[in-house]
Amino acid sequence: MDTIRVQEISQIDQRTLGITWTDGKKSALDVVMLRRKCPCAACIDEWSHEPRIKPEDIKDTVRPVKVESVGLYALTIHFNDGHRTGIYTFKYLRELATPS
């Protein structure tokens, strides 16, 4: 089975990250939403899967400073609030994305 991967990452505007996928689909992702949906163990309880952060804990001014790929299946996003432990799998990003 072909795995859909990220082909290209772009910055649509101050607050929106654009992803072009290898199947040609494009996604627009709100960066503040991405930070609020961070899947790392500090943000989501590993056992109950309940969020450990509240949306209001994350400021609207949070922005990614760096996006790096992890193997061929995920991205890590370094945010300007110092948070960088979230591993966003491509599958997860597709779920979060609003089709555009």
CB of 5 to Zn ion, least distance (A): 23
Of residues 4 and 62, the one with the C-beta less far from Zn ion: 62
Chain residues that interact with Zn ion, rule: CB under 5 A = 38, 40, 42-43, 86
CB of 20 to Zn ion, least distance (A): 25
Of residues 40 and 96, the one with the C-beta less far from Zn ion: 40
Round to whole Å and give the CA distance between 38 and 88. Answer: 8
